[in-house]
Structure 1
Amino acid sequence: MSDMATEEKDLGLNQDVATEGTPAAVVVNPVSQGGDAQDLKRTGRMTLYVRRFMRRPSAVFGLVVLCILILFALFGAMVCPWKYDEPDFTALAAAPSADHWLGTTIGGSDMYAMIVRGLGRSLLVGIISSTLIMIISAVLGTAIAFFEGVVEKVGMWILDMLLTIPSFLLVAMIVRSSSGTSGWLWLTIGITAFGWIGYARVIRTLTMSLRELDYIRAAKFMGVGSFRIILRHLVPNLGSVLIINTVLGVVSAVNQETALSFLGLGIKAPDTSLGTLLMNGQSSVLTAPWILLFPSAVLILLTFSVQLIGDGLRDAIDPYSRSAGKAE
């Protein structure tokens, strides 16, 4: 009995020493203290990504700016007494004033209302086309790499042939045949129809390494359907690349829309976009500079904010990135 008492005393002494020399979170047992072992939760992947993203000030700034622009495009028209298609013939190319906060165009249209409408159209084209491009490229790119053999050779031959097509001119021809407020829809379809080709080649290259992994081979051996493997295993493992490309693809789509509209081959009157506003403002840059400056500033803010968000997502998702701090 004395030996057992001595052993218990020594054990208690060692426990006290360990408690003093180590953090309490390591030594204390939640169950013995009346707690629950489930209180120690594992940090989820999305939580980790959000923490790393929020630790990058430039990415947070870009997200705030983009949210403000989206809210401006959605609700900005509610506070404006003028509509984008309601010209004021008593104020042609008028400077910013109490009646027209950002001035008017040569035709008397309110610049504030025009920018709200143009930003909404550019965002709509950019977000929808970028999302559709990533979906199409993810499915087709992984499928071409997964099936291998003849399917992969034919698929790559088709992609190489599609890359030689002058997509810019074809999109311009598609939009040129449209009229009215449906021009943005045809422009979105045209950008999507030719924008997925380059991304599909990149995703096919990434999938070539994934298809050799053990769990893919095990799924094939167990008789899991090919398309089920593609949609349930291959595409989700490319999620980080797809998210980053989707965000950055918005900038590319907006730039394409702006370029086409600037050349008069995109969205046409009575509808408007940022590219249309820039085209109309270039002829009056000396006499009425606000017609060009304000849409240019909004376009720069839009592209700059999305670029910052894309860089932040890349740093948050990349496990080897050091710019976002420790992954805790």
Structure 2
Amino acid sequence: MAMQEAGLLSQDDAPMPTEPEPVTATLSAKPSSRGRVIWRRLQHTPRFWIGASVLVLIVLLAIFGQFLTQWSPTDQDVDNMNYPPTIVHWFGTDILGHDLFAQIVSGLQKSLIIGFVAGPASTLIAGVVGATAGYLGGWGDKAIAWVIDLMLVLPAFFILVLLYPFTKGSWVVMMIFLAVTGWMIMAQVIRNQTRSLREREFVKGARYMGFSTWSVVRRHIIPNVASLLIIDATLGIAAMILAETSLSFFGFGVQPPAVSLGTLLADGQSAATTRPWLFLFPAGTLIVLLLAISLVGDALRDAIDPTSGVNRA
């Protein structure tokens, strides 16, 4: 009896078995992709939002601006020739009675098309040529580098002036020429970057596995210099718009009856002091457009390479 009581007491006094604590599996956070990191940085960059907002408004104006006015770029209001801004003509009229707002909208359309096509196209050429030259090395690299240096000797503007007779007044042909003559500097940068990437293990592995030159360049070289290409394509849009405006201003670009910001500036420069609206509205539109693109490109550069802002400071 005593032994039973002792056994009971020992069972009662024995520590109760505790339930195993739930094992909380700590899942390692999935590393963010480079694109998400860049986008997160852009979200905290005010100048990106300012530039992007203004650029979107300008693009919308170029697309839908023609529906905001009753006038077309070729319409003439003979009763209000050379008139300052009014309710009927928001930006005024020129000496022939053309509505300046309608002409600016038409000029914006051409400038934006040229910029958004020629800029990225020039960057694409630079990426392919520079990456191919840097990867090939040897005589292939020297031959391509010689062509690049030869094209850099002559200013691009001078080359475009020489090619003007072949454009036959077509702004589409001029856009192609702008893309073909604007890739050399970035090609040199990509070429130098590729020469260092060529000795990396993943490139050597792809070469030893029998991949062709173009396959290695497309799959391994260009993705590793994509950040430089993205920045160059963004800033190249502004450069191509400015190049088109300069050519049209001097009479080597868009030809009448078509209009661009360059032709409007050329027509309004002689009246900048007597009829300032003819010059100020096209000039202001061009400045705001280039500034918006530059803000976006500058923010994108800092988001891709955070040390660039430190280096500039």
Does TM-score exceed 0.5, indicating one fold? yes
Separation (CA, whole Å) in 1 of partners of 2:18 and 2:102: 81
* Distance of aligned partners of 1:288 and 1:5 in 2 relative to their CA distance in 1, 3 Å threshold: farther
Q: Is the 8 A contact 2:62 2:106 kept in 1?
A: yes
Cα distance 1:72–1:284, how it changes in 2: closer, same or farther (>3 A)? same
What is the match of residue 216 of structure 2?
229
- Cα separation, partners in 2 of 1:179 and 1:97, compared to 1, 3 Å: farther
Residues 1:246 and 2:233 aligned together = yes
Output aligned runs, 1:1-328, within 5 Å: 8=18, 28-29=24-25, 41-179=30-168, 183-320=170-307
* TM-score for the superposition, normalised by structure 1: 0.85
Residue 178 of structure 1 and its aligned partner are, at CA, apart by: 4.1
- Residue 143 of structure 1 and its aligned partner are, at CA, apart by 0.5
- Which deviates further from its counterpart, 142-151 or 191-200? 191-200
Where does residue 5 of structure 2 map in the other structure? none
DSSP 3-state at the match of 1:195? coil
The change in CA–CA distance for 1:209 and 1:177 in structure 2 (over 3 A counts) is closer
Contact preservation (8 Å) 2:254, 2:260: yes
Residue aligned with 1:90, SS: helix
1:153-202 per-residue CA deviation (whole Å, 9 max, x = no partner) reads: 1111121112223432331243345456xx21121122112111121111
Instruction: Give CA deviations for 1:218-267 in whole Å, capped at 9, x if unaligned.
Output: 11111111110001110111111000000001111111111111111111
**Deviation at 1:97?**
0.9
Q: Secondary structure at the match of 2:94?
A: coil
Code of the residue aligned with 1:237 in structure 2: it is: N
Does the CA contact (< 8 Å) of 2:167 and 2:174 recur in 1?
Answer: no
Work out the CA distance in 2 between the residues paired with 1:312 and 1:88.
44
Call closer, same or farther: CA 1:176–1:108 in 2, change over 3 Å. Answer: farther
Cα distance in 2, alignment partners of residues 7 and 62 from structure 1? 66
* Fraction of identical pairs, as percent: 35
Q: Which runs of 5+ in 2 are unaligned?
A: 1-10
1-structure distance, mates of 2:31, 2:146 = 46
Q: Which amino acid aligns with 2:176?
A: I
- The Cα of 1:118 is off from its aligned counterpart by 0.7
Distance in structure 2 (CA, Å) of the matches to 1:176 and 1:261: 14
Distance across 2 between alignment mates of 1:105 and 1:210: 56
CA distance in 1, matches of 2:16, 2:139: 78
Q: Quote how far apart the aligned CAs of 1:74 are.
A: 0.8
Change (3 A) 1:291 1:44: same
In the TM superposition, what is the alpha-carbon distance from 1:293 to its structure 2 partner? 0.6
Once the two structures are TM-superposed, the CA of residue 45 in structure 1 deviates from its matched residue by: 2.3
Letter in 1 for 2:80: A
- CA deviations 1:55-85 (Å, max 9, x no partner) are 0001110000001001110111011100011
Task: Label 1:6 to 1:44 Cα distance change in 2 as closer, same or farther (>3 A).
Answer: farther
Give, as a single letter, the amino acid of the residue that structure 1 aligns with 2:221: L
Partner SS state of residue 268, structure 1? coil
Number of residue pairs aligned between Structure 1 and Structure 2: 300
Give the C-alpha shift of residue 319 in structure 1: 4.8
What value does the CA root-mean-square deviation take over the aligned residues? 2.5
Task: Could you tell me which runs of 5 or more consecutive residues in structure 1 were left unpaired when the two chains were aligned.
Answer: 16-26, 31-36, 324-328
Report the TM-score when normalising by structure 2.
0.89
CA distance in 2, matches of 1:84, 1:264: 19
Q: Which has the larger radius of gyration?
A: 2
* Distance in 2 of aligned mates of 1:191 and 1:171: 7
Whether the 8 Å contact between 1:175 and 1:186 is mirrored in structure 2 is no
Residue 203 of structure 1: CA displacement?
A: 0.9
Deviation at 1:86, TM superposition (A): 1.3
Task: Assess, with a 3 A threshold, how the Cα gap between structure 1 residues 222 and 100 changes in structure 2: closer, same or farther.
Answer: same
Alpha carbons of structure 1 residues 6 and 123: separation in structure 2 relative to 1, 3 Å: same
**3-state SS in 1 of match to 2:233:** helix
Counterpart-to-counterpart distance in 2, 1:77 and 1:193: 31
Q: Amino acid of the residue matched to residue 212 of structure 2?
A: G
